[in-house]
Amino acid sequence: MSVISIHSNVRDYTVYFQDDCSFINKFERFSQRLFVIDENVWQLHGKGCLASIPKENLMLFTVTEERKGLKSVMEIYDRLMEKSAKKNMTLISIGGGILQDVTGFVASTLYRGLNWIFVPTTLLAQSDSCIGSKTSLNYKRFKNILGTFYPPAEVHIQTTFLRTLSENDFLSGLGEVVKLHIMGGRESTDSLILSLPAVLCREPDALLLAISTSLSIKLNYIEGDEYDTGRRNLLNFGHCFGHALETVSNYAIPHGQAVVVGMIFANLAALKRKWISYTTFDSHLNSLLLKSLSIPIHEKYLKWDKILDCMRHDKKRVGNGLVMIMMRENFSFEKVVDFSEDELRSGIEELKGVLNV
């Protein structure tokens, strides 16, 4: 078992890489505890890894993008408040990023902060969202505009859960793995290109290396900028366009897949501005990005006016221009705040060509 220790202004926390599922039994040390578990994870692992969890301490949660809001938060509030425990309650959430966001928001707000443990079960959550302290909720049709900064006290990563992911969910997580390896520089990018066949086959050692490398790279970006006012903004590479695509598709395109398309779009924009060479664009496109894309991107999701409307509501926007995180040839990244509507329109047309839409 290896460990990553992370400093937070809220509280320091630890990521544990577990060899097996026996760590679940150690949660018995918390006399007052509630497990909130993705019902799909429970169906797959309730008689396996999670068999020791007492039913009286269990709340199953139906996970959809539409559930990532205040109504779901209140449902968990009600269940927790039924128990006599208050500040001495431990909330243990087992699932992917949506469950993390909802339960993290609950933990950060109820009784001004509960002890919270997170067991991520998707590749996206294990390699990216499990660290960084953010909780995010959707409000009406706008994605991730409500939230807090509140890290779990412990994160436990066990790759057994990844074996049962659907191919689409697995590749959605791979999109964030690709993003982080690219943001780590040329060496980590080339390393992922070489190991990608093993990762796609879900070989445990390859997965563990890809996950730990992703988290280490992300940690390098969030250290010293926990509250996302500076360098951490760069982690939105692929997200500026990707979030808009998610919204326009009514979440038919899952997050990680939308981020892959967003990275392709950002690289097209960087290529047009002559920030990167065609060789770099083509290498990333064909060696990593297209291999991480499984969801068909329909033309109806790429309507210029709808994408524009969503990007105008991007919470990272501070001026009249649109926001775009773009890469340069030396693998440095910049936050562009003057991305124009004309660039958006022409970029979408070029994107359609690349994706054969």
Predicted confidence (pLDDT) per residue in 129-165, tens digit: 999 999 999 998 787 889 999 999 999 999 999 999 9
Going by pLDDT thresholds of 50, 70 and 90, the confidence category of residue 233 is: very high
Where are the chain's structural domains? Answer: 3-164, 167-355
Examine the pLDDT at 316 and tell me if it is beyond 90: no
Closest-CA residue to 121 (of 89, 83, 166, 160): 160
Check residue 356 and give left, alpha or beta (phi > 0: left; psi -120 to 50: alpha). Answer: left
Find out whether 68 and 52 touch, Cβ atoms under 8 Å.
Answer: no
Mean pLDDT confidence for 275-294:
96
The 3-class SS string of 13-64 reads: EEEEECCCHHHHHHHHHCCCEEEEEEHHHHHHHCCCCCCCCCHHHEEEECCC
Find out whether 78 and 61 touch, Cβ atoms under 8 Å.
Answer: no
Find out whether 132 and 222 touch, Cβ atoms under 8 Å.
Answer: yes
Examine the pLDDT at 250 and tell me if it is beyond 70: yes
Mean pLDDT confidence for 334-355:
96
CATH placement of domain 167-355: 1.20.1090.10
Examine the pLDDT at 1 and tell me if it is beyond 60: no
| Assigned token pair, 233 | 């903004």
Query: According to the model, what pLDDT value does residue 318 have?
Result: 64
Mean pLDDT confidence for 289-295:
93
Mean pLDDT confidence for 8-22:
93
Mean pLDDT confidence for 1-5:
83
Mean pLDDT of the chain: 94
**Measured between alpha carbons, how far is 269 from 2 in angstroms, rounded to an integer?**
39
Q: What is the pTM of this model?
A: 0.92
Instruction: Indicate the pairing of strand 90-95 with strand 33-38.
Output: parallel
Mean pLDDT confidence for 116-131:
97
Query: According to the model, what pLDDT value does residue 298 have?
Result: 94
- Name the CATH topology of 3-164: Rossmann fold (3.40.50)
Examine the pLDDT at 228 and tell me if it is beyond 90: no
Find out whether 295 and 310 touch, Cβ atoms under 8 Å.
Answer: no
Going by pLDDT thresholds of 50, 70 and 90, the confidence category of residue 60 is: very high
Query: According to the model, what pLDDT value does residue 6 have?
Result: 95
